[in-house]
Amino acid sequence: MYEEILKDLKTEFGKKRILSTSDIAPYIDKSPAAQYQIRKRKGFPYPIKKMGGLYQISIYDFAKWLAEEAEPQKAAPVPQIAATKKKAVQHRGVSLGKTLFAFAATIEGLHLQVDFLSDLYRELEEIELDKVTPKQIGGRNKPPL
């Protein structure tokens, strides 16, 4: 299996013997950013080295790891479940009444905000309209105060 995978990788990458995190991303379904998080938690199952400021892996180590992953895992024996197992406790979560009460309080707060902003808008509009000169009163200009 290892030889086949190595051959495929060499076909894919040519003479390249060191692969970057971007190179291996499609093979492991992890973006370089996700690989960074895995490295940070020390969870990489294969050796990865920092070279020239970039994290890279040998094509041989990567092929070996892919071959190990491709081998069928031996199934662990299923433990027998005892007949006297306790029933799992289910939590019901937040009650619907509390949720509805919270929504009602939120809606009431939003109504108050809308009323306030509507009043503020009307006041500001009135102030702006008072600034407009000259105002027409009965066909004549209103004298400035």
pLDDT tens figures, 77-130: 555 555 555 666 666 666 778 788 888 889 998 999 999 999 999 999 988 888
Which of 31-45, 47-61, 86-100 has the highest average model confidence (pLDDT)? 47-61
Could you tell me what percent of the chain has a pLDDT over 90? 11
Whole-number pLDDT of residue 120: 94
For the record, the structure tokens of 83 come out as 């007949």
Domain ranges within the chain, ordered by starting residue: 2-70, 96-133
| Phi, psi for 101 (deg, rounded to 5) | -65, -40
Residue 137 in this model has a pLDDT that exceeds 60: no
**What pTM does this model have?**
0.45
| Phi, psi for 93 (deg, rounded to 5) | 80, -165
Asked whether 63 and 5 are in contact (CB, 8 A), the reply is yes
